[in-house]
């Protein structure tokens, strides 16, 4: 837990500096962001907006210009890689790095998986050619069938056709990780629902055994809202010691809580999710402490907007005399959110990286709807954004 020491008092101020946190935003942009978060904070308005947007798209009404000037501008970096790179450069001027993701959700078929594979391979080449980029990312279900991942996770026997499809999926993972290794680009594998995650963990471990011999190139994601994940991290440590590999971990709380609890209730099994938010917080912080205590084997990517967890990580780093800019530690936030965390950590020498989703406006709508819904349900996050923007607008008025 956080220790309320005089030392931490100083850190508490670190993320509160709104002048630095919003250094890239004009007054107009700040007011627009305020208006947007205000709407998003209201569940009824978010639902109305979501339904109106879906209907307008179906009816082919020309409403994309509204999306572009509002949620798209707030949460996406552009429509193409080149357009997004301008945002990358802007952030980099303030020492904030980026990783780009083509956030278009494809169909569940082999053709779509091959297309997504191509996108990821392109993104690795794109990163390799630009020295201000280090990481790229992919979502396993963009390149593999969730049905087969589920069957493998449930340890059910696959028939011949399914075996062939699973082998193809593993080969796609291999192509990505092999190119990432060859080009020296770190690759983050997103975590998904618990009922397909075991298969993903198995495949990613296979990739780590192959490509993480000299350093962590392949990073798996550990969702700490799952009560079994500390055990998982400990098992990775034993494997890393035995097999002489390095482990890359993106630590998050987890994005699918409602789906997870609903499914567990419906099918009458114990939910894999911690029993309360407090337990998830403790689990996340314990995971961070465990990784930071084993930095000879682990590289750590913290994917959180929770300021208490960030102060906790900083506190552990200080107590272990780990430098702020240790190359094995990264702090990740989503584009359009928690800029106070990103810019203030970067100013203090920590390695900071923003997740930049991009893609044609029409095709990233599902991502944008998810962003709005998540901000609606994570009340604390949205009210914190609103409070910070208000503080900064007031500060600008008086200076
Ligand atoms: C850079 C980055 C990458 C990410 N990548 C992934 C990914 O690959 N896969 C993925 O699933 N998510 C991913 N996420 C999303 C992440 O898992 C969280 O949903 C999101 O960041 C909110 O959590 P938080 O730690 O920022 O903050 P908080 O607002 O402190 O935590 C909210 C989270 O706490 C948990 N929680 C809330 N209520 C309860 C409850 N009653 N009981 C138990 N737990 C509860 C949930 O996980 C919820 O999302 C990523 C986030 C970031 C910033």
- CATH number of the domain where residue 151 is located: 3.20.20.220
Residue 306 lies inside a defined structural domain of this protein: yes
Residue 72 lies inside a defined structural domain of this protein: no
- pLDDT per residue, tens digit, the chain (399 aa), is 344 444 454 555 899 999 999 999 999 999 999 999 998 888 777 777 777 777 777 777 777 788 888 889 999 999 999 999 999 999 999 999 999 999 888 789 999 999 999 999 999 999 999 999 999 999 999 999 999 999 999 999 999 999 999 999 999 999 999 999 999 999 999 999 999 999 999 999 999 999 999 999 999 999 999 999 999 999 999 999 999 999 999 999 999 999 999 999 999 999 999 999 999 999 999 999 999 999 999 999 999 999 999 999 999 999 999 999 999 999 999 999 999 999 999 999 999 999 999 999 888 888 888 888 777 766 678 899 999 999 999 999 998
Q: Of all atoms in ligand 1, which is nearest to the CA of residue 224?
A: 47
Q: Of all atoms in ligand 1, which is nearest to the CA of residue 332?
A: 1
Q: Strands, E, within the chain: which ranges?
A: 96-102, 135-138, 186-189, 218-223, 247-252, 298-303, 329-334, 352-358
Residue 41 lies inside a defined structural domain of this protein: no
pLDDT for residue 65:
82
Q: Which domain holds residue 207?
A: 77-375
Question: Are 376 and 39 spatial neighbours (Cβ–Cβ below 8 Å)?
Answer: no
Q: How far is the CA of 234 from the centre of ligand 1 (A)?
A: 21
Q: Helix, strand, coil: what percent of the chain each, to 5?
A: 60, 10, 30
- 222 CB less than 6 Å from ligand 1? no
pLDDT for residue 49:
75
Domain count, the chain: 1
pLDDT for residue 6:
44
- 7 CB less than 6 Å from ligand 1? no
- 384 CB less than 6 Å from ligand 1? no
pLDDT for residue 56:
73
d(CA 331, CA 53): 33
**315 Rama class: left (phi>0) / alpha (psi -120 to 50) / beta:** alpha
Q: Of all atoms in ligand 1, which is nearest to the CA of residue 190?
A: 8
Q: Of all atoms in ligand 1, which is nearest to the CA of residue 284?
A: 25
For the packed helices 160-183 and 194-211, what is the interaxial angle rounded to 10 degrees? 50
- 304 CB less than 6 Å from ligand 1? yes
d(CA 69, CA 87): 16
Residue 282 lies inside a defined structural domain of this protein: yes
Rounded to 10 degrees, the C-alpha dihedral 389/391/393/394 comes to 160
User: How many Cβ atoms are within 10 Å of 396's Cβ, its own excluded?
Assistant: 14
DSSP state of 8: H
Q: How far is the CA of 180 from the centre of ligand 1 (A)?
A: 27
Residue 97 lies inside a defined structural domain of this protein: yes
Residue 12 lies inside a defined structural domain of this protein: no
d(CA 30, CA 394): 11
Residue 20 lies inside a defined structural domain of this protein: no
- 334 CB less than 6 Å from ligand 1? yes
- 189 CB less than 6 Å from ligand 1? no
DSSP H helical ranges for 253-378: 257-266, 277-292, 307-319, 339-347, 365-377
Residue 34 lies inside a defined structural domain of this protein: no
């Amino acid at each position: 837990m956080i220790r309320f020491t005089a030392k931490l008092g100083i850190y508490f101020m670190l993320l509160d500096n709104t002048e630095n946190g919003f250094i890239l935003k004009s007054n107009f942009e700040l007011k627009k962001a305020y208006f947007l978060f205000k709407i998003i904070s209201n569940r009824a308005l978010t639902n109305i907006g979501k339904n109106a947007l879906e209907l307008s798209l179906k009816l082919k009404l020309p409403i994309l210009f509204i999306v572009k000037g509002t949620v798209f501008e707030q949460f996406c970096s552009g429509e193409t890689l080149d357009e997004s790179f301008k945002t990358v450069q802007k952030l980099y001027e303030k020492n904030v790095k980026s990783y780009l993701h083509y956030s278009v959700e494809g169909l569940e078929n082999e053709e779509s998986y091959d297309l997504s594979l191509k996108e990821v391979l392109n993104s690795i080449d794109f990163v390799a050619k630009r020295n201000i980029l280090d990481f790229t990312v992919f979502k396993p279900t963009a390149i593999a069938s969730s049905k087969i991942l589920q069957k493998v996770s449930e340890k059910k026997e696959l028939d011949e056709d399914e075996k062939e499809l699973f082998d193809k999926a593993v080969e796609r993972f291999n192509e990505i990780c092999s190119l990432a290794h060859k080009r020296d680009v770190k690759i983050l594998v997103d975590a998904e629902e618990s009922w397909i995650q075991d298969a993903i963990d198995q495949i990613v471990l296979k990739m780590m055994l192959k490509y993480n011999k000299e350093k962590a190139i392949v990073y798996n994601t550990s969702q700490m809202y799952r009560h079994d994940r500390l055990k998982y991290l400990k098992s990775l440590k034993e494997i890393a010691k035995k097999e002489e590999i390095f482990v890359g971990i993106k630590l998050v709380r987890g994005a699918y809580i409602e789906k997870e609890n609903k499914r567990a209730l419906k099918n009458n099994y114990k939910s894999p999710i911690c029993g309360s938010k407090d337990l998830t917080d403790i689990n996340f912080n314990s995971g961070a402490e465990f990784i930071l205590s084993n930095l000879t084997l682990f590289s750590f990517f913290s994917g959180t907007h929770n300021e208490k967890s960030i102060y906790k990580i900083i506190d552990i780093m200080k107590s272990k005399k780990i430098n702020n800019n240790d190359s094995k530690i990264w702090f990740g936030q989503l584009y359009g959110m928690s800029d106070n965390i990103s810019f203030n950590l970067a100013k203090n020498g920590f390695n900071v990286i923003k997740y930049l989703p991009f893609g044609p406006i029409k095709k990233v709508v599902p991502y944008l709807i998810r962003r709005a819904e998540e901000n609606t349900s994570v009340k604390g996050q949205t009210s914190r954004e609103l409070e910070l923007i208000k503080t900064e607008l007031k500060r600008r008025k008086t200076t």
